[in-house]
Amino acid sequence: MMHKRWTMVAAVLVVASLILTACPSPTPEVVKEVVKETVVVEKEVVKEVVVTPTPVPRKVLRLNMGPGDIPTIDPALSTDTSSVQIVELTTVGLTRQNEETTAIEPGMATSWDISEDGLTYTFYIREGVPWVKYDATKDQVVQVLDCNGNPRIVNAYDFQYGILRTLDPKTASDYAYVLAFAIQGADLYNSGEITDTAQVGVTVVDTYTLQITFKEPAAYNANIAGMWVAHAQPKWLIEGDECTEARGDRWTETGFFQGYGPYTLKEWIHDASITLIKNPFWPGIDSVPQAKIEEITWSMLDEVPAFAEYEAGNLDSAAVPLADIDRVKADPVLSQELKIAPVLCTYYYGFNTKAPVVDDVRVRRALSMAIDRQSLIDNVLKGGQEPAQWFSRPGLAGAPTMETHPDLGVKYNPEEAKKLLDEYLQEKGLTADQLDLTLMFNTASAHQKIAEAIQQMWKDVLGINVKLTNQEWKVYLETIRSPEATPQIWRLGWCQDYPDANNFVREVFSKGGSANPREGGGVNWENPKFEELVVQAAREQDPAKRVELYAQAEQILVWEDAVIAPIYWYTRVTVTKPYVQRTYSVLGGLEHIEKWDIVQ
Amino acid sequence: MGRYIARRFIWMLLVLFVVSVITFVLMHAIPGGPFDREKSLPKEIMENLNARYHLDEPLPMQYARYVYDVMIPHITTKPPSNSLQDDHLININLGGVWVKWMNFGPSYSSRSRTVNDIFRQQLPVSAQLGVMALMVALLIGIPLGVLAALKQNTIWDYLGMSVAIFGVSVPVIVLGPILIWLFGVTLKWLPPTGWGAKPPYFLGIFPTNPGIEFFKYAIMPSVALGMGSSAIIARLTRASLLQVIREDYIRTARAKGLAERVVITRHALKNALIPVVTVLGPMFAALVTGTFVTELIFGIPGMGKYFVVSITNRDYPVIMGTILLYVVFLVIANLIVDILYGVLDPRIRYT
């Protein structure tokens, strides 16, 4: 024991001596006497001041993307708003949607011709727009050069490659279905039935002219040609060529990425932040001007901490969490920065029309009429949402509006609802409390709150007890699409892919649509009149007639057959600092930030 | 000792095998697949996705493929490509010949990345946070426990244990926003969210120059995450120390006339810490891997999210990868604990 202790002491001494020798040798100690004396000195100081022009501060915008990493920024693979937001800023489609009016505008195509039969679109592509990338060593955006040292200019081949890459079954793109559904031969290529891309209706006429042949002479064709999945993609970077290393699906990572839009990727720290930098080579056009803000950084925070960052001055715009809305409205500063803006999304309850009780249209209509949507918005949601009388959100091309069709669809009408249900009950010889009804939603507190409020309304107005049940998201999705297990009443939301009523009414509820599987499940419904109307509406070229056709289809969907109970049309509640000049996009939150500015 | 570690290593492989089979079977048994979305996908699109990720093969085949990709080292003359399918965690160049090992597969939800990318980029951040949270837990927990034990049934004891109960019962989801509001928004002393270190990391884990900025970002999340563990440590230390100071050998030490300070630090505390050390291993593993809420609240780009979100996304390779990683962590942490026992108590021998 003694021995061990001495070794320890010796060791400590060795270490201490090592540390001490590493220090500079101490100076000999000198004892100083301190004399305190106050001396007042008066002197004029002449100072030379060198004035340098103060550099103009870079305009940097700080936003929040929402919690979690962005799944991808690859045009072919993007499916969610966050991904599409980056894609739309770094690349530009043939056509572009106006984010406020949803009107279709020129993008990379300066103009387009439509053939007599309305099937073939010839796009004339803007010349002289170079591919660019961010060069970290120079801290600037540079042009991408080809193997001969010339700048690579975006052309029809890049667009053709982009569309075919999205459709390639090996790419396994989710949204390939939108192109497959619209372009001639695209579905056969996508499902692997043909491998010859010449049979797909995408042809390069010359370097700056691209021809797309569609299946139907539909009014929304030009919109589909402009969608993110149809953007130009850099073949040399993805597949490699003589002077470029192939990056495969990794081409979108920091350091590799190439684009041509008003911004390009500077840095993407996964799950933390993504930064875009202004592309000075983007020529700037009326619909997509050259960017005024030099850099945009998105953090990836949950709503609550993001709002804290906004209040701390570290973010320039943020969504307002539900719990803070009342406080923000009451606050003299924050209320000035608040904006409630519409978003092209709809929240609804679907009925399984083959399930007991709700297989009778009177019950479905009574349930829908008994929902006091305004009260739900005022007391539960509080975000200034709009009560939905039908499915396709006003603002979409072809969709009816509250001004033109104030009485279309379904409204809160407790007396009528009660009368309808009583009629049904009398016929069946039942009482209201004998009805066995279940409403299912996916596990989330917001859906729970909405369901509880509506459950209470049904109890108060109709006297029926509806059971609530919930499931985890993916289990839920499988349940509501299964022919056997779909509950009587279920919830879902729908947001636009392209701003046309076709994307809502037809793509969701016609037989085989997203919420109406051919095999059963979902709304489990078919109405030949409805099917005819939506096809007719898609082909109709006169905008006013289209609205009428969709209004008729909606009337069948939400009133005559009452297949769904539309509940509300979404809004976004955001605060923005006063020095940010911005637009408010209705495209599901897809902002056109190249139009924004920061003014001090 | 060497033999002991070797045996433990073999056990680890066995545990990994069993855990991987159970995880694989369970995750495929949960209803809903990785590509079920709110907007239902047409059959052809689903087939393309399933074919790309080999989900169209029978399950035993998929499992065999996974084990082959992860466990079997490949020796090839082909240099590593940029393809997501060819991303091995270990790529050793032996003069033109490459040894590639551990391909954990692509992530289904983060489509330009692989599970290995997630390990390389997110794990170091979680490790940094976990180490600091553990330090917070030890620095608060042990002194608090000792104080409570020595001043048993006094105001100090009650105070210390109140703090401990507070730590256990106030979850991160409450403590985090309070800290952000107090120190981030109101006092503006600390940045409310974010993380101070950026890749690349020294040795793949440590921030290359951890300056004051790094700690400014780290302090709130470390405290929020470490508080709960500090309470556990404080209570364990207290209980264990109270038991130890009633032992005969402590009475003997006191009878010898040793100073109370020496009795406590040298004789009592060393033994009292054994149960504390026992929980440190799993606690560290839990801190590194179970940081979901903390990372979400403070916007930290760590692994925590992937543990939870991968299951809700049915991102099979990420689920498998993170769970296997967790098992490796747990086994190694326990091994270190067992070795530490010997240091604290020389009576413990390895056979």
Q: What pLDDT, in 10s, does the model give residues A566-583?
A: 999 998 899 999 999 999
Q: In the structure encoding, which two tokens stand for residue A205, read together?
A: 């006429």
**Alpha-carbon dihedral B162, B163, B166, B168, rounded to 10 degrees:** -110
Amino acid at A523: V
Residue B37 has, within 13 A of its CA and on its CB side, a CA count of 18
Q: Which residues of A touch B113 (CB under 8 A)?
A: 270
List the alpha helices (DSSP H) in B181-247.
212-244
**Minimum CA–CA partner of B37 in chain A:** A477
Strands A338-351 and A564-576: antiparallel
Strands A263-269 and A273-278: antiparallel
Assess contact for A492 and A504: CB atoms under 8 A.
Answer: no
**For position A87, what pLDDT does the model report?**
96
**For position B295, what pLDDT does the model report?**
87
Which of A177, A191, A479 is opposite residue B41, by nearest beta carbon?
A177
Q: Which residues of B touch A440 (CB under 8 A)?
A: none
**What is A38-79 written as a DSSP string?**
---------------PPPPPP-EEEEE--SS------TTT--
Q: Which residues of A touch B299 (CB under 8 A)?
A: 272, 299-302, 305
Q: What is the DSSP letter of A289?
A: P
| Residue B221 distance to chain A (closest CA, Å) | 13
Q: What 3 state SS string does B274-291 have?
A: HHHHHHHHHHHHHHHHCC
Q: Which of A90, A171, A174 to mutate to test the interface with B (most CBs of B within 10 A)?
A: A174
Are residues A72 and B47, on separate chains, in Cβ contact within 8 Å? no
**For position A547, what pLDDT does the model report?**
95
Cα–Cα distance measured from residue A439 to residue A418, given in angstroms and rounded to the nearest whole number: 19
Q: Which of B83, B112, B313 to mutate to test the interface with A (most CBs of A within 10 A)?
A: B112
* Residues ≥6 apart with Cβ < 8 Å to A453: A376, A379, A380
Q: Which residues of A touch B83 (CB under 8 A)?
A: 248-249
Are residues A246 and B82, on separate chains, in Cβ contact within 8 Å? yes
Amino acid at A187: D
Q: In the structure encoding, which two tokens stand for residue B259, read together?
A: 């100073």
What's the mean per-residue pLDDT of chain A? 89
Cα–Cα distance measured from residue A183 to residue A191, given in angstroms and rounded to the nearest whole number: 13
Please choose, from the candidates A200, A249, A235, A70, the residue with its C-alpha nearest in 3D space to the C-alpha of residue B53.
A249
Are residues A474 and B36, on separate chains, in Cβ contact within 8 Å? yes
Assess contact for A576 and A320: CB atoms under 8 A.
Answer: no
Cα–Cα distance measured from residue A427 to residue A445, given in angstroms and rounded to the nearest whole number: 38
Q: In the structure encoding, which two tokens stand for residue A199, read together?
A: 């049979």
How many helices and strands in chain B, by DSSP H and E? 13, 3
Sign of dihedral through CA atoms B71, B75, B76, B79? positive
**For position A56, what pLDDT does the model report?**
63
**For position A400, what pLDDT does the model report?**
94
- Interchain contact A246–B (C-beta under 8 A): yes
**For position A59, what pLDDT does the model report?**
93
Cis upstream peptide for B80 (omega within 30°): no
For residue A7, the tally of other CB atoms under 10 A from its CB is: 10
Are residues A308 and B193, on separate chains, in Cβ contact within 8 Å? yes
Q: Which of A65, A86, A474 to mutate to test the interface with B (most CBs of B within 10 A)?
A: A474
Q: What is the DSSP letter of A214?
A: B
**For position A54, what pLDDT does the model report?**
57
Chains A, B: CB pairs < 8 Å: 160
Q: Which residues of A touch B118 (CB under 8 A)?
A: 270
> pLDDT 10s per residue in chain A (600 long)?
444 454 444 444 444 433 433 333 333 344 444 545 555 545 555 555 555 555 667 899 999 998 888 999 999 999 888 999 999 999 999 999 898 888 889 999 999 999 999 999 999 999 999 999 999 999 999 999 999 999 999 999 999 999 999 999 999 999 999 899 899 999 999 999 999 999 999 999 999 999 999 999 988 899 999 999 999 999 999 999 999 999 999 999 999 999 999 999 999 988 889 999 999 999 999 999 999 999 999 999 888 889 989 998 999 999 998 888 889 999 999 999 999 988 889 999 999 999 999 999 999 999 999 999 999 999 998 888 999 999 999 988 899 999 999 999 999 999 999 999 999 999 999 999 899 999 999 998 889 999 999 999 999 999 999 999 999 988 999 999 988 899 999 999 998 888 889 999 999 999 988 899 888 899 999 999 999 999 999 988 898 999 999 999 999 999 999 999 999 999 889 999 999 999 998 887 789 999 999 997
Assess contact for A207 and A155: CB atoms under 8 A.
Answer: yes
Please choose, from the candidates A84, A478, A69, A257, the residue with its C-alpha nearest in 3D space to the C-alpha of residue B318.
A69
* Residues ≥6 apart with Cβ < 8 Å to A243: A146, A147
- Interchain contact A90–B (C-beta under 8 A): no
Residue with tokens 């709009």: A386
**What is B82-140 written as a DSSP string?**
S-GGG--SEEEEETTEEEEE----B-SSSTT-BHHHHHHHHHHHHHHHHHHHHHHHHHH
> pLDDT 10s per residue in chain B (351 long)?
778 888 888 888 899 999 999 999 999 998 888 988 877 888 889 999 999 999 999 999 999 999 999 988 988 888 888 888 888 988 888 888 989 999 999 999 888 899 999 988 888 888 889 889 999 999 999 999 998 988 888 898 898 888 888 888 888 888 888 998 899 888 888 888 888 877 667 766 777 777 788 888 899 999 999 988 898 899 899 999 999 888 888 888 888 888 888 888 888 888 888 888 888 887 887 787 667 888 888 888 888 778 778 888 899 999 999 889 888 888 888 888 888 777 777 777 766
